[in-house]
């Protein structure tokens, strides 16, 4: 299936959502209310495993934002994302095992373009609750996540 760029309305909605959750800083761009500001959390065209970000096609665009909470030691289970996913760590520490791509640790205030078609498993490796804002940039009828088998180790 050919890939096409995100529609202007979808991009604008995603930008507004990201800005709504971006912590304020005084040195923001022009047009930001006095005392407010912005902080760049993430700007990339690739996922954390270096895949190019590709948007689903063939169905109306659909943005889904969820807050995920994991207790210390709790795991997500091995899965993939058929759609782009922006993740923002609201609280705690997340360690993600990307199999042959290694493990990465994400902490409060960090954003990531999660791996898409690469199996991965997240675990709360902190001492308190882990809270993640997950924003899926998908399409009607396309699942945001699917279970997957652990990848073979190199």
CATH number of 46-147: 2.60.120.10
Nearest to 137 by CA among 1, 24, 4, 2: 4
Q: pLDDT per position in the chain (154 positions), as tens?
A: 444 444 444 444 444 444 444 444 434 455 555 667 899 999 999 999 999 999 999 999 999 999 999 999 999 999 999 999 999 999 999 999 999 999 999 999 999 999 999 999 999 999 999 999 999 999 999 999 999 999 987 6
So what's the pLDDT on residue 33? Answer: 57
So what's the pLDDT on residue 35? Answer: 66
Residue ranges covered by each domain of the chain: 46-147
CB 119, CB 55: distance < 8 Å:
no
């Amino acid at each position: 299936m050919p890939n096409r760029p995100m529609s202007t309305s979808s991009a604008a909605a995603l930008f507004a959502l990201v800005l709504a959750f971006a912590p304020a800083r005084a040195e923001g761009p022009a047009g930001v209310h006095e005392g407010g500001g912005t902080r760049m959390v993430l700007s990339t065209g690739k996922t954390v495993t270096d895949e190019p970000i590709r948007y689903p096609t063939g169905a109306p665009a659909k943005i889904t934002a969820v807050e995920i909470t994991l207790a210390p030691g709790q795991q997500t289970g091995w899965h993939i994302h058929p759609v782009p996913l922006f993740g923002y760590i609201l609280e705690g520490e997340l360690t993600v095992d990307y199999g042959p791509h290694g493990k990465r640790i994400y902490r409060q205030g960090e954003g990531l373009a999660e791996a898409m078609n690469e199996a991965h498993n997240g675990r709360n490796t902190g001492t308190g609750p882990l809270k993640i804002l997950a924003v899926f940039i998908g399409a009607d009828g396309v699942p945001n996540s699917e279970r997957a088998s652990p990848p073979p180790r190199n």
